[in-house]
């Protein structure tokens, strides 16, 4: 079934806009692909260094140019529960490569930051920039030119986008992304949030809070809320970079290991040395990107992808804009209710039918491009499946269930939770901004209240503790953009603003910073562009100004005259405290050269 004509029109518009950059990119990909395998162009000394630590069989294989060599880019560390399982993946991949007559080598490790550990602390000011560091580290690994394809081990927030930018920069190489899978279900996310609010109100102590948090985040695997990490998994599957059904299988299970080995074999099968050469730079095109945006809106995915998807697309020469995202949002129904957009977690989503059911529903509704290339072959329909193990312990796939296993978690397109997607673009005299409404009650989609201006999230917390916030207000937190302090997530504010909202106050947040993909119930206009440090009007808002956030009309306004706004001086904020400590002194160039949020906030 072909996609709805409005989806086709948006895709055509993106294709037309991207033509100059996309054609130049594809020329570079084809140029790089012309010498295959690249390692045969290396000198003997270079090559000997490249396989010095291999066994005799691998050395013999790599000395020639008929055996494919798989580069592994791994973001393993023990800090992220989602990445800890990757400790054992390289051995599995190497074993699978041998079984498939190929070789696999770890090409490089890339850093991975846990936004949950750094949330609310200085480390969060490195978070967004770590995406581009990951892309650079990926390039360092692949620059050895020893590889015919690469597999990318990454799950969390900035890691998959960084790996994707790196993979597309080596667009002549086939790329398969290998997920680690979600943590098993622990304390429900809404119960965790309830205990946090009790703690913030002084009704429970630190011991009770730590006990609740530890029952929620309790083992290896991705945290089970639908934040940026799980949005990444959804994107990699709907864009055809995972194997069908790979995203949400728990780590440490036979099916997980079978999927990992299958991914390694698939990557070796689609190199230029075989008959299904699938360079990722050609495989990912405007249709794949639009499919990603559709999936993001259909699932109420992370607002961080209104930044990362733009940067990822740009790495393939494709120019994606917030207007594209907004127009797709207006066409795509919300089909998933996973926390913070509901009470279920990602394991419940998978059990209800998961990605296979979602993709089938969106394909049948004409909301996805079916005629795309994927790492699995031609077309997206083969992803409308659910994976399992056969008797021999290999991956088998059967059609996704006709009916959702739980229509309160995963709905058919005919019974969508909301007729449009979870992500909106707001425009007006404060600038452009993003809001995720899938987790905000309809009665809170419009908030008009006096502004209270803060230069940091800490200042708002202080005002809360001093009892100054028991009122209707819109918090304006500015100088939180990429150039100011690395555009941190201000997700810790969710608890305090949630308490005030639950007390019946009309509250909202407006910031040039970010929120977490796990943020939700408080109406928040985020990624305000231009940022204050770039002269954005958000830097001119004063305490008491009336601000109106209207997610229905798609507007964000400070209700003063244009003349008064233009006549106001930009506030000045001392940012020297954001330039040193926790490694921030090493990121001055990133702050200086970071692009706008609506253009991907990239340093490239
Ligand atoms: O974008 C995201 O999804 C968040 O950055 C997420 O990865 C982060 O870990 C949150 O902080 C988790 O939520 P809590 O901080 O509420 O545990
Ligand atoms: S989902 Fe967030 S908190 Fe969980 S491991 Fe990943 S980065 Fe850390």
Residue with CA closest to ligand 1 atom 9: 116
- Here the tokens at position 356 are 């296979």
Task: Compute, in degrees rounded to 10, the torsion defined by CA atoms 154, 159, 164, 169.
Answer: -120
CATH class label, 423-599: alpha beta
Are 536 and 512 contacting, i.e. CB atoms less than 8 angstroms apart?
yes
527 with 434: CB under 8 angstroms?
yes
Instruction: Say how many Å lie between the CA of residue 556 and the centre of ligand 1.
Output: 26
Atom of ligand 2 nearest to the CA of 155: 6
pLDDT along the chain (604 residues), means of 10: 90 98 98 85 93 95 93 98 98 98 98 96 97 98 97 98 98 98 93 90 92 92 97 98 98 98 98 96 98 97 97 98 96 95 94 97 98 98 97 96 96 96 93 93 96 96 96 98 98 94 97 90 97 98 98 97 97 95 98 98 96
How far does the centroid of ligand 1 lie from the alpha carbon of residue 156, in Å? 10
Ligand 1 probe mutation, 183, 233, 434, 516, most atoms within 8 A of CB: 516
pLDDT of residue 35: 76
Question: pLDDT for 205-218, tens place per residue?
Answer: 999 999 999 999 99
| Ligand 2, atom 4: closest residue by C-alpha | 223
**ω into 530 cis (within 30 of 0):** yes
pLDDT of residue 1: 65
pTM over 0.90: yes
Ligand with the closest atom to the CA of 83 = 2
261-to-251, 271, 335, 564 alpha-carbon distances in Å: 13, 16, 31, 63
The closest ligand to the CA of 492 turns out to be 1
What atom in ligand 2 is closest to the CA of residue 516? 2
Looking at ligand 2, which atom is closest to the CA of residue 116? 3
Q: At a CB cut-off of 8 Å and minimum separation 6, what does 132 contact? A: 162, 165, 590, 602, 603, 604
- What per-residue confidence (pLDDT) applies to 518? 78
Q: How far is the CA of 275 from the centre of ligand 1 (A)?
A: 42
Parse the chain into domains and list their residue ranges: 5-184+219-389, 185-218, 423-599
Measured distance CA(281)–CA(317) in Å, rounded: 9
Determine the distance from the C-alpha atom of residue 591 to the mean position of all C-alpha atoms in its chain, rounded to a whole number.
21
Q: Report whether residue 119 contacts ligand 1, using a CB cutoff of 6 Å.
A: yes
| Distance, first Cα to last Cα, the chain | 38
For 326-358, give the DSSP string: HHHHHHS-B-B-BTTSSSB-HHHHHHTTHHHHH
Ligand nearest to the CA of 214: 1
The reply to whether 156 sits in an annotated binding site is: yes
223 is in an annotated binding site: yes
C-alpha to C-alpha distance for 301 and 295, rounded to whole angstroms: 8
Which ligand 1 atom is the nearest neighbour of the CA of 229? Answer: 3
Q: For ligand 1, atom 11, which residue shows the shortest CA distance?
A: 116
Nearest CA to ligand 2 atom 7: 114
CA of 491 to the centre of ligand 1 (A): 7
Return d(Cα 433, Cα 530) in angstroms, integer.
Answer: 9
Q: Does any ligand 1 atom lie closer than 6 A to the CB of residue 228?
A: yes
Instruction: Quick: pLDDT tens for 2-60.
Output: 789 999 999 999 999 999 999 999 999 999 999 777 888 899 999 999 999 999 999 99
């Amino acid at each position: 079934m072909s996609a709805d004509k409005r989806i086709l029109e948006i895709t055509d518009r993106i294709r037309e806009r991207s033509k100059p950059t996309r054609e130049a990119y594809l020329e570079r990909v084809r140029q790089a692909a012309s010498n295959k395998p690249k390692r045969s162009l290396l000198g003997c000394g270079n090559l000997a260094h490249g396989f010095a630590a291999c066994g005799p069989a691998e050395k013999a294989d790599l000395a020639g140019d008929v055996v494919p060599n798989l580069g592994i880019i791994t973001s393993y560390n023990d800090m992220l529960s989602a990445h800890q399982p990757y400790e054992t993946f390289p051995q599995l991949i190497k074993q699978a490569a041998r079984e498939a007559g190929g070789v696999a080598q770890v090409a490089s490790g890339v850093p991975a930051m846990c936004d949950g550990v750094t949330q609310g602390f200085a480390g969060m000011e490195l978070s967004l920039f770590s995406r581009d560091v990951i892309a650079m580290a990926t390039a360092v690994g692949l620059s050895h030119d020893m590889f015919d394809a690469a597999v990318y081990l990454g799950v969390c927030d900035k890691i998959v986008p960084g790996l994707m930018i790196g993979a597309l920069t080596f667009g002549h190489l086939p790329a398969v992304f290998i997920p680690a899978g979600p943590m098993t279900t622990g304390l429900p996310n809404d119960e965790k949030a309830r205990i946090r609010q009790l703690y913030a109100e002084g009704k429970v102590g630190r011991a009770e809070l730590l006990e609740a948090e530890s029952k929620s985040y309790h083992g290896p695997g991705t945290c089970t809320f639908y934040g940026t990490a799980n949005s990444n998994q959804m994107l990699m599957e709907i864009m055809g970079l995972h194997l069908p059904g790979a995203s949400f299988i728990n780590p440490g299970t036979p099916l997980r290991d079978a999927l990992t080995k299958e991914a390694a074999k698939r990557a070796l099968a689609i190199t230029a040395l075989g008959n299904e050469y699938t360079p990722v730079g050609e495989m990912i095109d405007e249709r794949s990107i639009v499919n990603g945006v559709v999936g993001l809106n259909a699932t109420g995915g992370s607002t961080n992808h209104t930044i990362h998807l733009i940067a990822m697309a740009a790495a393939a020469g494709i120019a994606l804009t917030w207007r594209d995202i907004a127009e797709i949002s207006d066409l795509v129904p919300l089909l998933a209710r996973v926390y913070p957009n509901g009470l279920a977690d990602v394991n419940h989503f998978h059990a209800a039918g998961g990605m296979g059911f979602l993709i089938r529903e969106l394909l049948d509704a004409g909301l996805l491009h079916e005629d795309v290339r994927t790492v699995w072959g031609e077309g997206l329909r083969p992803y409308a499946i659910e994976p399992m193990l056969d008797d021999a312990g290999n991956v088998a796939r059967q059609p996704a269930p006709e009916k959702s296993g739980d229509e309160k978690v995963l709905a058919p397109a005919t019974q969508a939770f909301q007729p449009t997607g979870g992500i909106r673009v707001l425009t007006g005299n404060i600038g452009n901004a993003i809001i995720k409404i899938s987790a905000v009650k309809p009665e809170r989609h419009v908030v008009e209240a006096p502004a209270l201006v803060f230069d940091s999230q800490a200042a708002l917390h202080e005002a809360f503790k001093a009892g100054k916030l028991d009122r209707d207000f819109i918090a304006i937190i500015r100088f939180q953009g990429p150039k100011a302090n690395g555009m941190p997530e201000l997700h810790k504010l969710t608890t305090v603003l949630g308490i005030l909202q639950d007390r019946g106050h009309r509250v909202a947040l407006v910031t040039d910073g970010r929120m977490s993909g796990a943020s939700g119930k408080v109406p928040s206009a985020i990624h305000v562009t231009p940022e204050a440090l770039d002269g954005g009007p958000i830097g001119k808002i004063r305490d008491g100004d009336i601000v109106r956030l209207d997610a229905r009309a798609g507007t964000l306004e400070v209700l003063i005259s244009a003349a008064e706004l233009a006549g106001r001086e930009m506030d000045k904020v001392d940012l020297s405290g954001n330039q040193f400590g926790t490694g921030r002194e090493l990121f001055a160039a990133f702050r200086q050269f970071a692009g706008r949020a609506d253009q991907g906030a990239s340093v490239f």
